Structure 1
Amino acid sequence: MPAIVGVVQVISIASSAVFHIGDVYRISPLSNAKTFAGAGSFNTGDSLHVQNYQSSTNTFDPDIVDQGNYLNV
């Protein structure tokens, strides 16, 4: 069923975001990311005590291209 939409102001939109007005069959945004983090980086909680005396993150990636989002719909 069609919708009646008034004035719309978009200030900014992220690169992997979707802005949609009107009817749609399917919206499927795709994105990918690679994250490097050291020991204890993603720990969460109350009164957390982490002991990382020697920590190194290996960011060496010999691949030229990683798996993409091709044909992932």
Structure 2
Amino acid sequence: MPSIVGPIKINSVDGGVINFGDSFYLSPKSASKTAAGSGSFNTGDFINTNSGLSATNSFDPDAVDQVVSGNA
């Protein structure tokens, strides 16, 4: 469905996707992977995390998760 987009001012975009109107196909321009154990991404004041024994398996049997080559 067609759309009309009015005046727009974008100061900065950091790692996001901006889409206006119709889109047939959107593809990522970058991909990343993070492996972290329990309680590793906690943010805030006065955090108390009791996770006991924790082990993170970072083994990845497949070579490519998201293909970004050719996404020009």
Structure 2-normalised TM-score? Answer: 0.52
8 Å CA contact 2:37–2:55 kept in 1: the answer is yes
Identity score, percent: 53
8 Å CA contact 2:31–2:66 kept in 1: the answer is no
Partner of 2:60: 61
What is the CA–CA distance in structure 1 between the aligned matches of 2:63 and 2:30, rounded to whole Å? 18
Partner of 1:42: 41
SS at match of 1:41: coil
What is the CA–CA distance in structure 2 between the aligned matches of 1:65 and 1:33, rounded to whole Å? 11
Q: CA deviation at 1:46?
A: 0.8
The number of aligned residues is 45
Give the structure with higher Rg (CA). Answer: 1
Partner of 2:30: 31
Structure 1-normalised TM-score? Answer: 0.51
Letter of the structure 2 residue corresponding to residue 57 of structure 1: T
Q: CA deviation at 1:62?
A: 0.8
Larger relative contact order (Cα-Cα within 8 Å, sequence gap ≥ 6): 2
What is the CA–CA distance in structure 2 between the aligned matches of 1:42 and 1:72, rounded to whole Å? 31
